[in-house]
Structure 1
């Protein structure tokens, strides 16, 4: 089905969004995009130690919120652990982002850390919200799964979950060379904690997936980086150019940024309803598959690529 509805509610009330990110380069750029959307009220940012080391990722998130004058947004840490740790070579990127010049040019006081951590933070923010909340999850689903275990009634407070995760009809990105014994069919956010995926699939929350099938259609290209470089006078364009330049050599994709972009430009996406399940054990652990009578979810299968790149350049030229 083609998404065409405008995302600003008829009531004019902004959509409430809580972001759970795991500190990769693209997570930070997804947060930078989210904070440019005028019809979104960001009610919290949670940093999960999956594709990052926690302390530099928290520091970078705090500096980014300060750069954009959004120190009013609650920031929290999580200490949850998955079954399969990301390789250290992936997690180091948080150290790089934390030291980028655009985030350190001035001393800015960022928001203090919330007292609650992980699932408890999700519980409090959703309970305090005046309306159902959209969860934007650009890392594993562990915090949400544990929050649902703590309070199954939380489902009624969730409008929708937007999750960057899974690989349905394309190969996964778990490298068997780095993960001996795996068959390479899983995507990393699902592989980090497949039991959490299973728990969320067992719930009644509306789930909109952005798997590798669509996210890998938008790599960070040299052409896109050149276009970003031409508008470096804008702080967010400068930040994006610096961030992506550190990883573009590895055919890096805008997995999390694409997921976030749906909140602003749903008409660029094509979705299909699918019935899915997850493998929690064995060589395909973390693989999400189509399964008759499985959990029904909305799956992004296509995006208008050039229009997406143009949208990003416009959003970050502010």
Structure 2
């Protein structure tokens, strides 16, 4: 009797052990872990709502959200807005953290920071809530997330690259990052400086790289070869925010991501700029093309970042530059369909 019991137990144990590699394989084949780093502008906020829905659809594993506090977000409000979006999308446990304030080279125009704060507080309804405090700095959270992940993480960065440059100073962190997808730069098109940012510069710069060209160059220099993909203004020119798209979003709000994004783009201050035809889905294109490879067309280039003078922050194609994969075009219709579908918790059509 005892012998037969031992035999049965051994058989069960053998079955369990035999199954372990398969379980591990399934875990390794899961969705890619993602860290989202931004400056919590209006389109960063919409992009975070999109990434929340991608997470719930099982196409990514959103592990952390970090904020660069030297961009368009009001430093004392960025983490509150990030937390509000995650909670309203049903992901309250995703950790958030911010970088130090006052870093970077060129400050974001105060008038735009004020406008963005009005838009986000109105859309998210959190203007009366206290500032949110994180237990980590952005650099610490990026390091913690990357080094504890079984798989190499994807970083999607859509603001000044201050946090990413800081995190990459750690070799242990850098080697755990499999891809850095960046919205930034202008390679063969003019820049997008605006308002009080223009005096003293020739507008060859894109805002994210202009705000901290030192960190932009550092990321291109220190990232592991083959890991950087750049989505510059050359590609984002294909994805303007149009009144037609806003109307489609107004009529199609099946999930929190869509409802949040509509509330953002329908805020009066932002709606007026959309009507002028000067607003684009800059950051959303970077994120959507990171998840769905057919949205944008990439090719290898060598890119440098000008540090000083009237072109400080300009990205240039040069033989002495650093190797990146850069997007020069995007499919407008496919982007809009996939963005709208995902915001509504649906599989992308025509994918």
TM-score normalised to the size of structure 2?
0.81
Q: Which residue does the alignment assign to 1:195? A: 214
1:25, distance to aligned residue in structure 2 (A): 0.5
Question: C-alpha separation between the residues in 2 aligned to 1:127 and 1:236?
Answer: 29
Question: C-alpha separation between the residues in 2 aligned to 1:13 and 1:232?
Answer: 28
For residues 116-195 of structure 1, the aligned pairs below 5 Å read: 116-149=136-169, 151-175=170-194, 178-195=197-214
Q: Which residue does the alignment assign to 2:275? A: 249
1:154, distance to aligned residue in structure 2 (A): 2.4
1:176, distance to aligned residue in structure 2 (A): 7.7
Question: C-alpha separation between the residues in 2 aligned to 1:240 and 1:290?
Answer: 35
- Residue by residue over 1:73-110, the C-alpha shift from the partner in whole angstroms, topping out at 9 and shown as x without a partner, is 1111222411101101221213421232xx449x9x99
Question: C-alpha separation between the residues in 1 aligned to 2:300 and 2:110?
Answer: 35
**SS of equivalent residue, structure 1 residue 226:** helix
Contact 2:52 2:257 in 1 (8 A): no
For structure 2, the 5+ residue unaligned runs are: 1-25, 346-351
Deviates further, 205-214 or 56-65: 56-65
Task: Tell me, yes or no, if structure 1 residue 23 matches structure 2 residue 40.
Answer: yes
TM-score normalised to the size of structure 1?
0.89
Task: Tell me, yes or no, if structure 1 residue 301 matches structure 2 residue 328.
Answer: yes
For structure 1, the 5+ residue unaligned runs are: 1-8
**SS of equivalent residue, structure 1 residue 65:** helix
Task: Tell me, yes or no, if structure 1 residue 267 matches structure 2 residue 257.
Answer: no
Are residues 182 and 176 of structure 1, via their aligned partners in 2, closer, same or farther at CA, if it must alter by over 3 Å?
A: farther
The higher radius of gyration belongs to 2
**SS of equivalent residue, structure 1 residue 263:** helix
**SS of equivalent residue, structure 1 residue 266:** coil
Q: Which residue does the alignment assign to 1:66? A: 87
1:253, distance to aligned residue in structure 2 (A): 0.3
Are residues 308 and 196 of structure 1, via their aligned partners in 2, closer, same or farther at CA, if it must alter by over 3 Å?
A: same
Deviates further, 116-125 or 40-49: 116-125
Task: Tell me, yes or no, if structure 1 residue 237 matches structure 2 residue 258.
Answer: yes
Q: Which residue does the alignment assign to 1:115? A: 135
The count of corresponding residues between Structure 1 and Structure 2 is 304
Question: C-alpha separation between the residues in 2 aligned to 1:91 and 1:257?
Answer: 19
Q: Could you say what the CA RMSD is over the residues aligned between the two structures, in angstroms?
A: 2.3
1:125, distance to aligned residue in structure 2 (A): 1.8
Question: C-alpha separation between the residues in 2 aligned to 1:266 and 1:207?
Answer: 14
1:178, distance to aligned residue in structure 2 (A): 3.3
Contact 2:297 2:327 in 1 (8 A): yes
Question: C-alpha separation between the residues in 2 aligned to 1:204 and 1:45?
Answer: 20
Task: Tell me, yes or no, if structure 1 residue 222 matches structure 2 residue 243.
Answer: yes
**SS of equivalent residue, structure 2 residue 309:** coil
**SS of equivalent residue, structure 2 residue 209:** helix
Question: C-alpha separation between the residues in 2 aligned to 1:86 and 1:132?
Answer: 32
Question: C-alpha separation between the residues in 2 aligned to 1:28 and 1:74?
Answer: 16
